[in-house]
Structure 1
Amino acid sequence: MTADEYYQLGNEYRRKGDWKHALDNYMEAIELDSESPAVEAKRMLDEIMSYYCKDMYNP
Structure 2
Amino acid sequence: MDKQFIDKLQTLSRRDEVRSSLLLEGVKRTLRQRKQRGFIRRILHSKKKTIVPKSWD
Report the TM-score when normalising by structure 2.
0.39
Q: Which has the higher helix share?
A: 1
The structure number with the bigger radius of gyration is 2
Report the TM-score when normalising by structure 1.
0.38
